[in-house]
Structure 1
């Protein structure tokens, strides 16, 4: 008897299944964060390598190439993932960015190094939205948001590891060693994907691969009924036009603008916070430590936001979090006692990074399973324009000695993101209806 019909297995997601998927994806997103942040962490060592010949101006261009590659990767994932499956895309993304890291480690010149960072960006852009989609599919309904925010703590942890490794081995082993450190885990990552990460059951059923889906369901003791695709799912899979049906077009545009604002903040603040704080009168040591504090706040904020989103709905918490980010960044323009500034920076990080993550969690509740990965890929891809614009905008303000205006501009970006999410209707699409019509739901 098929588990679509059997009452002998649970119809709810298996705890073992969703924890296994979350654990594998957490490790992969950790590698994603490590590879993303390793560039900034190694730049001082690269600049000291006079024989290599990287200049600050070219370094900025390469940083932009990497971000543009992420944009292309996210958009490509959004189109392809719902057609060929999540597992292949995740495997491809990991292989691309880890091999690119290895190429960076042995790059004979700057052009090869730049191309490798661009291709790494494509792999990074492919992985993140697809991993989020996988985790949300397998997490229990009451734990989907905490699953996503927990997943994103790996990104911040990867950044912290990149900084720690660079600080400890660049002087003794050279900057290239850090890229080899980032590439080495591919020998663990690929087997983990092949042997521990199951394919999306929703994708397999929608594409008619019932036997393979059945084998996975039997292995984990779950019913395929919990993952059955909605009617006409095969016609929707991978179609960007499905994001612009009458029921969804305004939702899509509003989330795209919010994601643009959110990633503008994440990348703009992460890039320019130390410089802006130093221009505001803090010494160099304090200014750099603010970057560590804001990212630590981000990890704590992810876990808090996820729990609240599961209770009150991700959209509602996202709005509140962006408003809190606006006030937190605005307060940084006020020269306060150092301890109070640290508190503000920590809290701002808690709101800022998790607000952007909650956009992804919110998006997943507004689109049916057949186009969920498409919607996440595109909201991530469009947001990458903000990731390019934020650092550029901060650089313009700093170059014109308008650092204080930077706090105001970033606060306004947080307000715009909050307004965009608030304007999204409060009735997300229900997977249970099997249609694109909205039904009552929280937040």
Structure 2
């Protein structure tokens, strides 16, 4: 949309707009760092829970695996719930409620007396995690300037693997004599640190207020935050049509929503499958157990650095092309991992595989966040985070089946590579012609960036 079509009373305070954006990005990133911490910290305490029945009671390996999936099921529930209400009640409320929910869930898990209670609290914690993952993308997309949206979304969603790295490092630092419970108490810190800060500094989205027809509030919030509003901001109900999930199941969003959900399913299948089984597969391929943490750290650090670099390209040529390319990149590098490569080259390949798998999922969140109109954005991100989480559940199971069947790491890597190629194909099918994202409701010319559609 041209500059002339925006409000003349746009505040013009670019410094204020930058400060608001910095707060949104910083608070969202920290929230997802704690989310990543939660999703990884369980794996660091499993050996203790299995070896010491005095902690929660006797536990089999099968029960430990089931406990690990409870949080993922909770994430699915939380994401879909946030999508159902986020486009109706706003981004800020969902963020604040679920920061508290997540923190209290971690604190409750830290004092769980039995396996059953521990599992229940892991599920409830996952609900808060899913709601946050599904909401921050919508919030950042509505504050980020055009041309920076993919980069800023990549920064925010890189908080998840960064939190995973943090969990692994803290687990190494905390002495064994302290037990496993302090690790979950650390996960509860947002209740007394991040939540008060978010309450004071996290703004509501002016664009969401406008989309709900709350024009005066939208204009006042735009003045407070330095965020520009689109043309027709004086017209009540600037975005007409179905809201939330109701918009996703109707034309023109139904078909791309199915494709975007499938992309997220594949991305999270690869993310969780590799994070769970890469050390074991490489160990079976002849590498010592001491390399396990090294491979995981390289995989996730590669995802963070590579994902951020790829997001810069996505802002220039469109996220759709970049996501398709990184899926192909994953397929190529996964095919190299079973080969007898020198260790240095192998670590580089693992890092690039991290870009093509975990990094691709980060880019998918950015693509999805910017694809939908404001009235359906939270639901769209929630759908992809929630449906995609099924891939996060399937990935470790699929890897376990392959490892248990003794088919070897080569087959597993080739299968994951094939899934990457399917992801690239699905990405190429996503429609890229739509309306100007900021337009009130009238059709506009197709955008040069083929990664967004709005109605």
Q: Give TM class, smaller chain.
A: over 0.9
1:441 aligns with 2:441: no
Give the match for residue 197 of structure 2: 192
CA contact (8 A) 1:202 1:227 kept: no
Choose the corresponding residue for 1:9, options 4, 8, 12: 12
Q: Distance in 1 between matches of 2:197 and 2:305?
A: 27
Residues 354 and 230 of structure 1: is their aligned pair in 2 closer, same or farther, counting only changes over 3 Å?
farther
Structure 2 stretches of 5 or more lacking a match?
1-5, 451-455
**2:371 alignment partner, SS class:** coil
Q: Distance in 2 between matches of 1:344 and 1:315?
A: 23
Query: What is the match of residue 41 of structure 2?
Result: 38
Deviation sequence 1:344-390 (CA, Å, 0-9, x none): 00111122212112112222333211111111100111111111111
Task: Give distance in 1, aligned partners of 2:199 and 2:351.
Answer: 38
Matched-pair contact (CA < 8 Å) for 1:94–1:127: yes
Match of 2:453 in 1: none
Q: Is residue 364 of structure 1 aligned with residue 369 of structure 2?
A: yes
- The answer to whether the Cα contact below 8 Å between 1:65 and 1:117 also exists between their aligned partners in 2 is yes
| 2:158 aligned counterpart, secondary structure | helix
Per-residue deviation, 1:234? 5.4
Structure 2 counterparts to residues 153-164 of structure 1, below 5 A: 153-164=158-169
Is contact 2:212–2:237 with CA below 8 Å preserved after alignment?
Answer: no
* 2:100 aligned partner: 95
- Asked whether the 8 Å contact 1:136–1:148 carries over to 2, the reply is yes
Partners of 2:334 and 2:391 in 1: CA distance: 17
Separation in 1, partners of 2:397, 2:324: 26
> Are 2:434 and 1:421 equivalent residues in the alignment?
no
Q: Quote how far apart the aligned CAs of 1:217 are.
A: 2.5
TM-score (structure 1 length as normaliser): 0.94
Q: Is 1:86–1:199's contact at 8 Å kept on the other side of the alignment?
A: yes
- Per the alignment, do residues 230 and 265 of structure 1 end up closer, same or farther by CA in structure 2, a change over 3 Å counting? farther
| 2:152 aligned residue (147, 152, 173) | 147
1:123 alignment partner in structure 2: 128
**Does the Cα contact within 8 Å between 1:366 and 1:430 map onto a contact in 2?**
no
Aligned to 2:52: 49
Structure 1 gaps, min length 5 = none
**1:141 match: secondary structure:** coil
1:273 equivalent in alignment to 2:278: yes
Q: Which moved more, 1:265-274 or 1:226-235?
A: 226-235
Residue in structure 2 matched with residue 410 of structure 1 by the alignment: 416
Partners of 1:76 and 1:83 lie apart in 2 by 12
Q: Deviations over 1:58-97 (max 9, x none)?
A: 1111111111111111111111100011111111221122
Checking the alignment, whether the CA contact within 8 Å between 1:132 and 1:148 is kept in structure 2 is yes
- For the residues of structure 1 that align with 2:152 and 2:231, how far apart are their CA atoms? 18
Distance 2:205 2:82 in 1: 15
Superposed CA offset, 1:303-330 (max 9, x none): 1011111111100000000000011111
Moved more, 90-99 or 226-235: 226-235
Give the match's secondary structure for 2:338.
coil
Q: How does 1:214-253 map to 2 (within 5 A)?
A: 214-225=219-230, 228=233, 233=239, 235-238=241-244, 240-253=245-258
Residue 174 of structure 1, CA deviation: 0.7
Quick check: 1:230–1:431 contact (8 Å CA) kept in 2?
no
Larger % of helix: which?
1
Task: Give yes or no for the alignment of 1:431 onto 2:434.
Answer: no
| Distance (whole Å) between structure 2 residues aligned to residue 141 and residue 130 of structure 1 | 19
In 2, the alpha carbon distance for the partners of 1:223 and 1:440 equals 20
Deviation at 1:211, TM superposition (A): 4.2
Pick closer, same or farther for the CA change 1:11–1:439 going to 2, 3 Å: farther
Q: Indicate which of 375, 379, 384 corresponds to 1:374.
A: 379
Q: In structure 2, what is the Cα distance between the partners aligned to 1:23 and 1:261? A: 28
In structure 2, what is the equivalent of residue 259 of structure 1? 264
Per-residue CA deviations over 1:5-46 (Å, capped at 9, x if unaligned) read: 526536999222211211111111111111121111221222
SS of 2:147's equivalent in the other structure is helix
**3-state SS of paired residue (1:114):** helix
